[in-house]
Amino acid sequence: MSPRTTDKHQRRAQLVTAAAETFARQGVAATSVADIVRSAGVAQGTFYLYFPSKDDVILAVVETVAESILAGLQGRLGTPDLPAKQRLRDFGHLLADLSRADDLSDVTDFIHRPENRALHDRFAEHLLPRMVPLMHQLIADGVADGSFRVRDPCAAAWFVLGGLQSVELAGTTHDELPDALDAAIDLALAALGATDD
């Protein structure tokens, strides 16, 4: 990779970091592109070399969040020494914890507004396909150890993730989300034919 390419990636990352920090400090709606470039210490024209609009930098921030979510999920779902049922419960708890994270709440509130549906869909398109293999493996592990009874772990993974996403799509508030996710995990375990310990 040439130094110029590295500088380009570093500048983009600098803008994303500045945007995330400014969103956390001021809120997404109250943050302008001028605020972001001021925080990053670059000219406004530089911003538009990397992002066509504020929505695009919001998506970049959310994708960065998605990467950290995926890292957390890999840690929770990819721990074969824990029973599959516990890993699935931990997954629900991680999602609930993320919904309550103070530094993310303004971004998640913003992306879940009805008028920002296209932005939300782009985020989901980035995250969900990468979650399916993790959930598939978790369910396959549960089938292998006898705690789940499903014929097609891949289809079951789509079903579980779709059910969890529907909690969000139903307009569940942040305060209701932890209990709603617990209920959805209970339903997922029942659908997976989870056995009692």
Judge whether 88 and 137 are in contact, CB under 8 Å: no
Q: What is the pLDDT of residue 112?
A: 65
Q: Give tens-digit pLDDT for 75-112.
A: 766 677 888 898 898 888 887 776 666 555 566 666 66
Q: How many CA atoms lie within 13 A of 75 on its CB side?
A: 8
39 or 195: which leads in pLDDT:
39
Please state, rounded to an integer, the average pLDDT across all residues of the chain.
83
CB 172 within 8 Å of CB 181: no
With 0-12 / 13-18 / 19 or more C-beta atoms within 10 angstroms meaning exposed / middle / buried, residue 87 is: buried
Predicted confidence band of residue 1 (pLDDT cuts 50, 70, 90):
very low
Interatomic CA distance for residues 148 and 141, integer angstroms: 8
Percent of the chain beyond pLDDT 90? Answer: 37
Contacts of 180 (CB under 8 A, 6+ apart): 167, 170, 172
- Confidence category of residue 20, pLDDT binned at 50, 70, 90: confident
In angstroms, what CA-CA distances link 97 with 21, 73, 118, 177? 20, 12, 24, 10
Query: Which position has the higher pLDDT, 55 or 122?
Result: 55
pLDDT value, residue 58? 86
pLDDT 10s digits, 139-186: 999 999 899 999 999 999 999 999 988 887 787 777 788 899 899 999
Position 136 scores a pLDDT of 93
pLDDT tens digits along 36-70: 999 999 999 999 999 999 989 988 887 887 777 77
What are 162's two structure tokens? 């779709």
pTM over the 0.75 mark: no
Decide if 132 contacts 154 (C-beta within 8 A): yes
